[in-house]
Structure 1
Amino acid sequence: MEHNSTVYVGLDVHKESITVAYSIDAGEVELLGKIGTTPAEIDRLCKRLQSKARRVCVVYEAGPCGYGLYRRLVEQGFECMVCAPSLIPRKPGERVKTDRRDAIKLVRALRAGDLSAVYVPGVEDEAFRDLARAWACARDDLRQARHRLKSFLLAHGVRYTGNANWGPAHRRWLSEHTFDSEWQQLAFNEHRRTIEDRLAQCERLETALREAVINWRFYPAVLGLQAMRGVQFVTAVGMLSELGDLSRFEHPRQLMAWLGVTPSEYSSGGKRRQGSITKTGNSYARKLLVEAAWSYRHPARVSRDIQCRHEGIPKAIIDRAWDAQVRLCRRYRKLAARGKHVNIAVVAIARELAGFIWDVGRLAMSLAIPHNAKPA
């Protein structure tokens, strides 16, 4: 074993197998073979790699297998990176893809420093994110179930004369409506039952999430973000569960780029051309950000709901949230006066809103927010 050498390892990870390639320093890339995914086989691989060099750098692509392999390799003392698959350099016209080629390509890209690492959350943060994602999926299922029932009623000429907002009156009307056909009535009852099941699931998950967030390490940031206009409990928890530690972004522009709300660019020579936003990064966090930005179309004001969310929040955070509201509302009016389309203007507001979220979230973590405060 060379004490000053570094072995670069590329892993092409699948459910049942891992293809391993490696190179020592700038030497030729060699194929180590294919192993299983059991803990015993991974430990055996670690011993073989440790015998080749003192410093071991490992990389594999982010995928459905999660971060268990990353944590196991880090425990063994290896330097491990989980890279973004969409940002791996690829040769134009390359039409052959195999596990062996992918592992070798990872080794060469790692050695050249051409890979972009993804953020690996801690065990507790990942568990909380799983709970938040389950709640988001349940809300999506509820919305789809409601759309299916509305489409079913529309196809049979059944229309509700009031406001179909799924309030008590609307749901009472649905429970009293009947079809002449027994088969249609059975289908109608199943659609209604699906909605009730999804409602109960959303309530269970929301209750569990509100209880769990109090013990989460980013709970002060959740409370701080809710001081801002358009950022309620759903948005604050959803964004922070996906973003993780905001301190990993050294500048708000890095957060904007991670959310994919920065404009694309193709510039050459003296010409500078900017296009639509990149839409890279986390699509769910970007969706929540844009939804929150729509509330800044209206004049700046502190509503009763926002006042309730301000209870127990330090004045510095409240002042910063008001500064954001004044700036972003004025910014939207200027963009609208220039004739910008409403969607383009809102996305521009969302980009600046990401900067305020970065600032308020970091400020909330640095200040002492009482943990007995309840999320609105």
Structure 2
Amino acid sequence: MRRNKTDRTDAAGLLEADRCGEIDSVPIKSPEQQGVMALHRIRERLKAQRTATINLVRGVLREFGIVIPVGAAKVRLAVLAALEDGDNALPMALRHTLGEMLDRLVDLTRSMTAIEQRLEEFARHDSVSVRYQQVPGIGLLTATALRASVGSLERFRSGRYFAAWLGLTPREHSSGNRRCLGRISKRGDGYLRLLLIHGARASLRAAHLRAQRGQPVNRLQTWALTLQQRIGHNKAAVALANKTARRLWAMEHHGVSFDGDHVSVRPADSTV
């Protein structure tokens, strides 16, 4: 590692990186990819502002003994009911301010909806995004974020490399014949990893409900439910996100659609 930054050390570092065969090249994103990722970032910022506003309104009303039910969709109706109630202790000046905050919540939600509509327009004209959304747990946000952030999954040598790039594989600290695996590395794009794990949680819950109702479950859902019973919901969700990432790579590599009952004919390589 070079301590000082100069033109000489920059040139030497670039030359060393070019000589090293272990460093993979990173494709340059197109303007369209950058635009889609910018939409995702703006939506996340709007969502954070909406959450902060909701929490602020909840806290203010709680001081006056008014408790809002859980759920962002219930906030507006609950606050309107509190504002229309003349028997509570809310001062008139505060009522006006809370009304303005409700208008802000409506504007934030409307802006988020507009961004989602633009993402839908992008996904509608992208065949790979459409194919991604065939996979349980992969929705509009995950599909478009993958396409914009990663591009073609063919840049990875295998699905395992893609899952490792996302930080969904265990951190390893081994020596000799002693192998020690820890928690997931959490390297790579944290936003993509978040979307995949949240999608895996939803897919796991859906599989659990199908099993409870006596409805048929596919091979992947059976594997996930069995794993959940053995190691718990959270670890099973991360493992399912890992498997989902690897299946996405296989779908793009082989040009096939999602099959929940697919059985890999290639034996697992324990050395990778």
TM-score over 0.5 (shorter chain): yes
* Deviation for aligned residue 1:195: 1.1
2: CA distance between counterparts of 1:144 and 1:105?
Answer: 47
TM-score normalised to the size of structure 1?
A: 0.57
With 249-258 and 116-125 compared, the bigger mean Cα shift is at 116-125
Query: Which whole-Å CA distance do the structure 2 matches of 1:238 and 1:154 have between them?
Result: 38
Match of 1:335 among 195, 208, 227: 227
Unaligned runs of 5+ in 1: 1-89, 304-324, 368-376
Q: Which of 56, 61, 79 is equivalent to 1:174?
A: 79
- Residue of structure 2 in register with 1:354 after alignment: 245
**1:255 and 2:162 aligned:** yes
**In the superposition, relative to structure 1, how do residues 104 and 190 fare at CA in structure 2: closer, same or farther (>3 Å)?**
farther
Change (3 A) 1:166 1:334: closer
Cα distance, 1:231 vs. partner? 1.7
The answer on 1:204 being equivalent to 2:114 is: yes
Cα deviation for residue 101 of structure 1 reads 7.9
CA distance in 1, matches of 2:38, 2:245: 23
Whichever residue aligns with residue 76 of structure 2, its letter is R
Change (3 A) 1:202 1:174: same
Q: Give 1:224 shift.
A: 1.2
Q: 2:65 aligns with which of 157, 182, 193?
A: 157
CA separation of 1:175 and 1:298: change in aligned 2, threshold 3 A: closer
2:181 to 263, 274, 277: 274
The higher relative CO (CA closer than 8 Å, separation ≥ 6) is in: 2
CA RMSD of aligned residues (A): 3.0
What is the CA distance between 1:108 and its match in structure 2? 5.3
Please report the TM-score for the alignment, with normalisation by the length of structure 2: 0.76
Q: Deviations over 1:37-78 (max 9, x none)?
A: xxxxxxxxxxxxxxxxxxxxxxxxxxxxxxxxxxxxxxxxxx
Shift of 1:263: 0.6
Larger fraction in strand: 1
Q: Kindly report which structure 2 residues correspond to 1:1-376, keeping only aligned pairs within 5 A, or say none.
A: 90=1, 96-98=3-5, 103=10, 106-107=13-14, 109-113=16-20, 115=23, 117-160=25-68, 163-167=69-73, 170-178=75-83, 180-215=90-125, 219-298=126-205, 300=207, 326-338=218-230, 340-362=231-253
Q: What per-residue deviation string (whole Å, max 9, x for no partner) do you get for residues 210-259 of structure 1?
A: 233334xxx11111122222222222222322221122223101110111
Q: Is the 8 A contact 1:226 1:233 kept in 2?
A: yes
**Structure 1 residues 152 and 180: CA distance shift in structure 2, 3 A:** closer
What's 1:61 paired with?
none
The 8 Å contact of residues 259 and 283 in structure 1, kept in 2 or not, is answered as: yes
Equivalent residues of 1:328, 1:352 under 8 A apart: no
How far apart, CA to CA, are the structure 1 residues paired with 2:9 and 2:108? Answer: 42
**Residue 151 to residue 115, structure 1, CA distance change in 2 (3 Å):** farther
Identity %: 22
SS, match of residue 107 in structure 1: helix
- The answer as to whether partners of 1:299 and 1:329 remain within 8 angstroms in 2 is no
C-alpha distance after superposition, 1:110-143 (max 9, x if no partner):
2542755434212322223323333333333323
